[in-house]
């Protein structure tokens, strides 16, 4: 069990800065997002995140990351670099 106090450490808010620097160039679409994003591994204990498009169809979000929202851990998902985050 993860300690409730561990998730409130200020250093966790700075973890994003440990990723690779982003290079803003004319990049082709469909690239994976930079760390701390990661491709969802095909294992049963990591849930599949899905989102819904404007036509009501669901689609899987292949890239995940963990974050804190109101001091609560959450899992975010996206489809590619610079795409909407769900």
Strand ranges (E), 3-71: 38-39, 50-52, 58-60, 63-69
pTM of the model: 0.63
The pLDDT score that the predictor gives to residue 46 is 86
pLDDT score at 20: 45
Distance of CA 54 to the CA centre of its chain: 21
Per-residue pLDDT tens over the stretch 1-26: 444 454 555 655 555 555 544 444 44
Residue ranges covered by each domain of the chain: 1-17+32-86
pLDDT tens profile 28-85: 457 889 889 999 998 888 889 999 988 999 999 999 999 998 889 999 999 999 899 9
């Amino acid at each position: 069990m993860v300690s409730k106090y561990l998730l409130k450490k200020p250093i966790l808010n700075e973890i994003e800065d440990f990723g690779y620097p982003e290079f803003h160039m004319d990049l082709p679409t469909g690239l994976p997002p930079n760390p701390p994003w990661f491709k969802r591994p095909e294992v049963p204990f990591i849930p599949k995140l899905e989102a819904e498009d404007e036509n009501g169809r669901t689609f899987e979000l292949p890239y995940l990351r963990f974050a804190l929202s109101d001091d609560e851990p959450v899992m975010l998902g996206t489809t590619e670099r610079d795409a909407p985050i769900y």
